[in-house]
Amino acid sequence: MIFRYKTYLIGLLGAMGLFINPVAKSADCFLKNAPQTVYTATPVATYLLMVLAPEKLAGWNFPAPPQAKGIFPDSSFSKPVIGGWFGQGRTPNMENLVATKPQLIVNSGTTVNLEKQASLKQFGIPVCSLKLDRLEDYPTAIRQFGVWLGKPQRANTLADYTQKQIKWLSAQKHKLRTNNVPMKTVYYAETPSGLATECRGSIHSEVIPLSGAINSHLCPASSGKQNRFGRVNINFEQLLAYNPDAIITQDVTFYRQVYVDAKWQALKAVKNKQVFLVPQTPFRWIDRPPSFMRMIAAPWLMHKLYPDQIQWNDIRQTKEFFHLFFQVSLTDEQVQTILNGKTL
């Protein structure tokens, strides 16, 4: 049965002219020509495609985020939902994928099974891989993706900005150490209960160390949760023991109740009004997925944690970022709406 299904797909690909013989090397993935249609197998790669060449998008890994309307091109919202290789156990609809006639497939190693992604190569479409785990991976990945897409100039512009942001964050953390500023502890509250979080070292919580703070939740090395899938449950007694300086969340339901729930008033972060709702337009800034948005989320959080030490103009810097990456011009009022965790 599996053999017949593969034979059917391969025949369909051949009929559509997708059996090309790309000139490619495993390390650099050279292509004969810039592709016109690209399938990205993971959300982090899909969102990167949306800032480099949104017109080449074959389809989504999941329905397009509604809060991206007015930011992403209108035409992108009519693209099909194909699925992808990400998270745990998710796979794309291969017939839907084939129907989009992709001329390039791009995968990444972020929270995926690369062995499963390798099966795409049997269909004769060039398959290229990017490393998109930590923020430090992005300058190189952006430049490489830009070469594949035939957009090297735009890619270099975005990569240069990314390098500048990473360098700025490093310099600010050095400044905090030089000034003997105590590192803040931060708890990342997930789900409406707020009692799910990410381990220290997880790519899903990288914004916390990038911002010069310490993730409160340290998981045992044996848990295997430090780097990839993340999201572990804790009890409130454990959170009380942490008693973090600040709490960040991307869950609006949790944020709305944290200041009125009597139980949470015992935490100094709540008493000191240091619970922050992270912006989510055009998609979540911290994770789900952990994307290039970390480069704007980290300085935003750093300024929240160390306002007397870190000079960062939220309005101006966010406007600059959105204009550069999403090629949209926002008013100050629109930016403030985004920074308040709302949609346009």
CATH code for position 245: 3.40.50.1980
Q: How many domains does the chain have?
A: 2
- Model pLDDT, residue 35: 95
Residues 30 and 141 occupy one common structural domain: yes
One domain for residues 237 and 143: no
**Residue 102 within a domain:** yes
* Model confidence pLDDT, tens digit, residues 79-118: 999 988 775 555 777 788 888 999 999 988 654 555 655 6
- CA–CA distance from 10 to each of 96, 258, 281 (Å)? 14, 53, 39
Same domain (yes/no): 308, 190: yes
| 56 and 146, same domain (yes or no) | yes
Residue 65 lies inside a defined structural domain of this protein: yes
What per-residue string of b and e applies to 310-339 under the rule 16 or more CB within 10 Å gives b? bebebeebbbebbeebbebebeeebbebbb
Residues 7 and 147 both lie in one domain: yes
**Tokens 């099966």 found at:** 119
Shared domain for 189 and 265, answered yes or no, is yes
> Are 90 and 213 contained in the same domain?
no
**Residue 321 maps to a domain:** no
Q: What is the pLDDT, as a whole number, of residue 28?
A: 52
Whether residues 97 and 137 share a domain: the answer is yes
Tell me whether residue 176 is in a domain: no
Please list, in sequence order, all residues whose beta carbon lies within 8 angstroms of the beta carbon of residue 242, skipping any fewer than 6 positions away.
Answer: 185, 187, 216, 217
The pLDDT of residue 228 is: 53
290 inside domain:
yes
Specify whether 18 is located in the same domain as 135: yes
The list of the chain residues with pLDDT below 50 reads 1-27, 111
Distance in angstroms (rounded) separating the CA atoms of residues 323 and 310: 23
Question: What integer pLDDT is reported at residue 107 of this predicted model?
Answer: 87
Q: What is the CA radius of gyration of the chain?
A: 21
Q: Are residues 140 and 264 in the same domain?
A: no
Residue 193 domain boundaries: 181-312
Task: Looking at the structure, tell me whether residues 147 and 31 fall in a common domain.
Answer: yes
Task: State the pTM of this model.
Answer: 0.87
pLDDT at residue 162, rounded to an integer: 98
From CA 118, how far away is CA 85, in angstroms rounded? 11
Query: What are the tokens at 42?
Result: 């993971």
Q: Do 8 and 129 reside in the same domain of the chain?
A: yes
Q: What is the pLDDT of residue 253?
A: 96
Q: Has residue 335 been placed in a domain?
A: no
Q: Is 162 inside a domain boundary?
A: no
Q: Would you say residue 247 lies in a domain? A: yes
How many Å apart are CA 112 and CA 89, to the nearest integer?
9
| Distance from C-alpha of 1 to C-alpha of 323, rounded to nearest angstrom | 50
Q: What is the pLDDT of residue 224?
A: 54
